[in-house]
Amino acid sequence: MENRKNTALIRACCNAMIPGVEEGEIIVTPDANIFETNDAFIVELDMPGAAKESITITADTQILSVSSTTTDNTKSGKLLLNEIGKKRYQREFRLGSGIKLDEIQAEYNDGVLLITLPKADEVKARHINIQ
């Protein structure tokens, strides 16, 4: 029981340090898969409950940042158990050189966000013919 109190205290303390975090909101780092193809890197993030309109993606020469919040799913009636709660997703990835920032694309379906980071020509693998 003491561990639960400590964990809740640490979580509440850390949330208080992040600007804009509401009371009772939990910060979640979404799980990710990263794939590489010849033409791009693909980042897949698991973000169930996030509304497409609430997702913010920013990219500069060094950082890809993704954030979102889930809505409060409070239904009518007395809440007896609240394990889902309101969440704020936040994840950042360090970008190497060779990404075409102006061509990044994203799509969100069934709680999964896919971000495609096209490679610049100078970092793409090339087939070399033997003469």
Based on the structure, what is the number of domains in the chain? Answer: 1
**Per-residue pLDDT at 121 exceeds 70:** yes
Residue that the structure tokens 């804009």 belong to: 20
Residue 131 belongs to a domain: no
Bridge partners, 56 (sequence order): 67
Residue 33 belongs to a domain: yes
pTM of the model as a whole: 0.74
99 DSSP assignment? B
What is the per-residue pLDDT across 79-96, written as a single tens digit (0 to 9) for each? Answer: 777 777 788 999 999 998
Residue 89 belongs to a domain: yes
- Containing 90, the helix (H) or strand (E) segment is strand 87-94
DSSP string, 20-77: TPPTT-EEE---EEEEE-SSEEEEEEE-TTB-GGG-EEEE-SSEEEEEEEBPP-PPSS
From the list 13, 120, 117, 21, the residue with the least C-alpha distance to 69 is: 21
Residue-number span of the structural domain to which 41 is assigned? 24-74+84-123
Residue 30 belongs to a domain: yes
**Cβ neighbours of residue 102 under 8 Å, at least 6 residues apart?**
none
**Per-residue pLDDT at 108 exceeds 90:** yes
Q: How many CB atoms lie within 10 A of CB 30?
A: 20
Rg (CA), the chain: 19
Residue 64 belongs to a domain: yes
Give me the CATH number covering residue 60.
2.60.40.790
Residue 8 belongs to a domain: no
From the list 22, 28, 24, 23, the residue with the least C-alpha distance to 50 is: 28
**Per-residue pLDDT at 8 exceeds 50:** no
